[in-house]
Amino acid sequence: MIILSVVFLSLVLSERKQIDNNITEKENSEKENLIDIEFDKNNEVENMSNVVIMETSKGNIEIELYPEKAPITVENFLKYVDSNFYSGLVFHRIISGFMIQGGGFNPDGTQKKTLPPIKLESNKGLSNLTGTIAMARTNNPDSATGQFFINTVDNLGLDYSPRDPGYAVFGKVISGMDVVYEIEKSKTTTKGYYQDWPVDDIIILKVYRK
């Protein structure tokens, strides 16, 4: 997972192809990487907050979730949140003027096992605008698991259309965009098979409901 010229459209489409194929979870290894996550169902019932805090090594990001418009995606994300899945993972892909992506890899480049993939909810009237959070996926529309990205510009080219399934937005940063932009400025390199990997680790310390 704004376009006013053919040149910029080509750039966005090129980068979105990378979202599909480069760093997101690989389809051919999905079954091998599935795990069962245990989480506190009582906590899920008692704590119905639609706001989560993402503590990172660069600062905190506060995100409002949209369960009414993206119920499957929000429920899935909160399962990872409530199980502390994201603690210790990194933002592994950063493209300035596009987005920052995380939630799937350890600092050493190994991929963390996930829950089964979910159904895509991109046709819900939510757009990939600046500060929104959406699920990363493979070329298979129904392949999102735990990885997410935060849009740092308006990426309307990532939205649903009759010819394109797009990427599912499920929330928006309501505090901490300065942290997002600080992460976006990070120098990147190639790490193994993965491009746009930050030179210095940007750690997700923990994510929890407010």
Main-chain dihedrals φ then ψ at residue 15, nearest 5 degrees: -70, -35
- pLDDT computed for residue 161 by the predictor: 97
**pTM, to two decimals:** 0.84
Average pLDDT, the chain: 86
Strand (E) or helix (H) holding 41: helix 41-46
Euclidean distance between CA atoms 3 and 206, whole angstroms: 35
Q: Is a pLDDT exceeding 50 seen at residue 37?
A: yes
CA separation (Å) from 26 to 91, 145, 170?
A: 17, 11, 22
- pLDDT computed for residue 5 by the predictor: 35
**How many other β-carbons are positioned within 10 Å of the β-carbon of residue 71?**
13
Question: What is the bridge-based pairing of β-strands 51-56 and 148-151?
Answer: unpaired
Domain 6-209 superfamily per CATH:
Cyclophilin-like (2.40.100.10)
User: Domains of the chain: which residue ranges?
Assistant: 6-209
Q: How confident is the model at residue 25 (pLDDT cuts 50, 70, 90)?
A: very low
Strand (E) or helix (H) holding 206: strand 204-209
pLDDT tens digits for range 177-188: 999 999 999 999
